[in-house]
């Protein structure tokens, strides 16, 4: 990263980077060909047909339809390749592999806050293992930010009030830039950081050092009782409280008073904490106060992980069929594209001692 020689490309450090650079090469070749073709023709015509004292008025030249069609269809064909190739890469980019390692990211003027499942936190640094699918679930505490890692050729906007995801598979150990790519105010250009891609053993050593305050879900559980959520929301199976029972609720559809249905995911849980009256589960009163301002975005993340951990995971024996891959809250008009956390085995399985 700190090379002194002139660079023309960023490091190629993820699987996506390889595909994007391939597409880039195609685009450069096609566009260079047409640029040179046009420039050459202009120069040739300007020289060959330059006006001399004795040049007569040239005859009119009329084109035919086939010529116009030819120079429309060839560029159209070439550009459809660009479309299909780009769309296929984008499809890959927007579908995190199911067994990705999950990490939460919160953007805030002007810093990146990272939360690992195991409880580790970092600011403006992201430590990840090499050769592993990593999925970031991201939200913002204030304005729109964008988490951009040029060496991975990927970025995604980070929005307040909803979760977006971004995933990558680093192929090379090293340190790479994190940039905020969506203008976010005075210190926008200072909202930068570093991704450290490490060998798995080193990463495990890093992960087990310094932490020790419990997993995200455990922190969420503590927050759950601290905020008094527990007085209305039951967490054990088959106990009815004043508010919906959270046991095994993750990934399942909930019937709302409006007749619509919503799948319980990070976006919905977050919205229910910060803006509880937005969606009321059928059979319950609109009695919950907002916790906006009482709980940080990171706290919401911990609560989300706690809710996810209560009861059997969807798909496990005895649980209802769950359309888990659904996206951010349906009412926000952002369907499946940037799915909120998909169903995953309970995080407890990966907890470090």
Partner 1 sequence: METVATAVEREPRTYLNVDHTLKSWLLTEDHKRIGILYLIVITIFFAIGGLFAALIRIELTTPAGDLVESSVYNRLFTGHGIIMVFFFLIPSIPASLGNFLIPLMIGAKDVAFPKLNLLSWYLYVIGGSMALTAIIYGGIDTGWTFYVPFSTGYASGMVMLTLVGIFINGFSSILTGLNFMVTIHRMRAPGMTWFRLPLFIWSLYSTSLIQVLATPVVAVTLLLAALERGLHIGIFDPALGGDPVLFQHLFWFYSHPAVYIMILPAMGVTSEIISTFSKKEPFGYSFIALSSLAIAVFGFIVWGHHLFVSSQSVYAGMVFSILSYLVAIPSAIKVFNWVSTMYKGSVELTTPMLYGIGFIGLFTIGGLTGLFLASMGMDVHLTDTYFVIAHFHYIMVGGAIMGFMGGLHFWWPKITGKLYSETWARLSAIIIFLGFNLTFFPQFILGYMGMPRRYHVYAPEFQVFNVLSSAGASVLGLGYALPLVYFLWSIFFGKKAPANPWGATGLEWQIQSPPLPENFEITPVITEAPYHYAPSEEVVHVG
CA distance 91 to 337: 9
Q: Of 157 and 221, which has the nearer Cβ to partner 1?
A: 157
72 phi, psi to nearest 5 deg:
-95, -40
How many CA within 13 A on the CB side of residue 328?
19
Q: Of 86 and 312, which has the nearer Cβ to partner 1?
A: 86
Tell which positions 170-209 bind partner 1, by CB under 8 A.
177, 179-190, 192
Residue 179, classed as helix, strand or coil, is strand
Residue 105, classed as helix, strand or coil, is strand
238 binding partner 1? (CB under 8 A): no
Binding-site member from 86, 211, 241, 312 for partner 1 (CB under 8 A): 86
Q: Of 34 and 237, which has the nearer Cβ to partner 1?
A: 34
240 binding partner 1? (CB under 8 A): no
Q: Of 17 and 217, which has the nearer Cβ to partner 1?
A: 17
Tell which positions 108-147 bind partner 1, by CB under 8 A.
109, 142-144, 146
223 phi, psi to nearest 5 deg:
-65, -35
Q: Total residues at the site for partner 1 (CB under 8 A)?
A: 102
Stretch that binds partner 1, among 92-100, 115-123, 209-217, 237-245 (CB under 8 A): 92-100
Cβ proximity of 19 and 89 under 8 Å: yes
Cβ proximity of 143 and 168 under 8 Å: no
From the CB of 170, what's the least distance to partner 1, in Å? Answer: 16
Tell which positions 287-316 bind partner 1, by CB under 8 A.
292
61 binding partner 1? (CB under 8 A): yes
Binding-site member from 9, 204, 213, 352 for partner 1 (CB under 8 A): 9
79 binding partner 1? (CB under 8 A): yes
User: Pick from 346, 343, 349: which is nearest to 321 by CA?
Assistant: 343
75 binding partner 1? (CB under 8 A): yes
β-strand pairing of 125-129 with 164-169: unpaired
Contact mark string toward partner 1, 22..51, x via CB under 8 A: -xx--x--xx--xx--xx-xx--xx--xxx
Binding-site member from 258, 275, 286, 350 for partner 1 (CB under 8 A): 275
Q: What is the dihedral of CA 248, 252, 253, 257, to 10 degrees?
A: 20
Alpha helices in 94-234 (DSSP H): 200-208, 216-226
From the CB of 196, what's the least distance to partner 1, in Å? Answer: 16
CA distance 301 to 269: 9
Q: Of 93 and 265, which has the nearer Cβ to partner 1?
A: 93
Cβ proximity of 11 and 172 under 8 Å: yes
Stretch that binds partner 1, among 250-258, 281-289, 314-322, 335-343 (CB under 8 A): 335-343
């Amino acid at each position: 990263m700190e090379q002194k020689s002139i660079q023309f490309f960023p490091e190629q450090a993820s699987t996506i980077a390889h595909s994007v650079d391939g597409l880039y090469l195609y685009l450069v070749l096609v566009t260079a060909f047409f640029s040179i073709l046009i420039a050459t023709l202009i120069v040739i015509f300007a020289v060959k047909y330059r006006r001399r004292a004795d040049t007569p008025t040239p005859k009119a030249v009329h084109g035919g339809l086939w010529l116009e069609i030819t120079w429309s269809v060839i560029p159209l064909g070439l550009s459809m390749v660009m479309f299909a190739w780009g769309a296929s890469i984008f499809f890959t980019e927007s579908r995190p592999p199911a067994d990705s390692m999950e990490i939460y990211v919160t953007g805030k003027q002007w810093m990146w806050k990272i939360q690992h499942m195991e409880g580790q936190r970092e600011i403006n640094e992201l430590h990840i293992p090499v050769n592993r699918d990593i999925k970031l679930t991201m939200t913002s505490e204030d304005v729109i930010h964008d988490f951009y890692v040029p060496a991975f050729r990927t970025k995604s906007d980070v929005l307040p009030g909803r979760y977006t995801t971004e995933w990558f598979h680093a192929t090379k150990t090293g340190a790479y830039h994190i940039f905020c790519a969506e203008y976010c105010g005075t210190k926008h250009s200072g909202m930068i950081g570093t991704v450290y891609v490490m060998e798995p053993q080193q990463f495990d050593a890093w992960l087990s050092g310094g932490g020790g305050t419990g997993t995200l879900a455990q922190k969420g559980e503590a927050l759950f009782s601290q905020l008094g959520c527990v007085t209305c929301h039951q967490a054990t199976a088959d106990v009815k409280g004043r508010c919906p029972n959270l046991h095994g609720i993750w990934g399942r559809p909930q019937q709302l008073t409006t007749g619509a249905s919503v799948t319980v995911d990070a976006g919905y849980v977050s919205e229910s904490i910060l803006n509880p009256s937005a969606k009321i589960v059928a059979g319950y009163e609109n009695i919950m106060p907002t916790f906006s301002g009482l709980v940080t975005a990171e706290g919401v993340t911990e609560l989300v992980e706690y809710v996810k951990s209560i009861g059997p995971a969807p798909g496990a024996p005895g649980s209802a069929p769950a359309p888990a891959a659904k996206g951010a809250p349906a009412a926000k008009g952002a369907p499946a594209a940037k799915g909120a956390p998909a169903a995953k085995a309970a995080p407890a399985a990966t907890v470090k001692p």
